[in-house]
Amino acid sequence: MRKELQVGEHLELRGFQWQRSPGSRGSIDLMVKGNKRRAPLLAIQVKSTRSLSIFGNRLNQAELTNLLSTAKEYEAIPILALVSRNYVWFLEVPDGTILSEGQLKPLRHSYFDK
């Protein structure tokens, strides 16, 4: 959960609004919206790894299918946020193209819904 919150705050610092999905154990961890009127909704699955190897196939077939179908339900773009050693890569799903990357910072806020 900590990495999900760090990814959310990372996006918030870049002008996005985000909300953690209830339970956060489903196919989508974060729902994210840009600040522009027609900005697309993003459905983000956060995966942590200790490896510095970046590749888009971090989701098994069931996770991939669930992410794609849930994102379609919400008319959102499916994204994989791959976190390693406080660094994050945002990958397009299903092709694995790197869309963005950046350094995660310590959490700025205290979250009571733990």
Q: What was the pLDDT predicted at 56?
A: 55
Higher pLDDT, 90 or 26: 90
Residue 112 has pLDDT above 70, yes or no: no
Give pLDDT, residue 32.
95
Instruction: Say whether pLDDT at 82 is over 80.
Output: yes
Residue 87 token pair: 């660094």
Q: DSSP letter at 21?
A: P
Name the pLDDT band for 23 (thresholds 50, 70, 90): low
CA 35 – CA 55 distance, rounded (Å):
29
- Among 25-29, 40-44, 92-96, the range scoring the smallest mean pLDDT is 25-29
What average pLDDT score do residues 36-53 get? Answer: 85
> How confident is residue 11, by pLDDT bands cut at 50, 70 and 90?
very high
What's the whole-number average pLDDT of the chain?
86
Name beta bridge partners: 44.
Answer: 30, 79
Q: What domains does the chain contain, in order, with CATH numbers?
A: 2-103 (3.40.1350.10)
* Paired strand residues for 101: 89
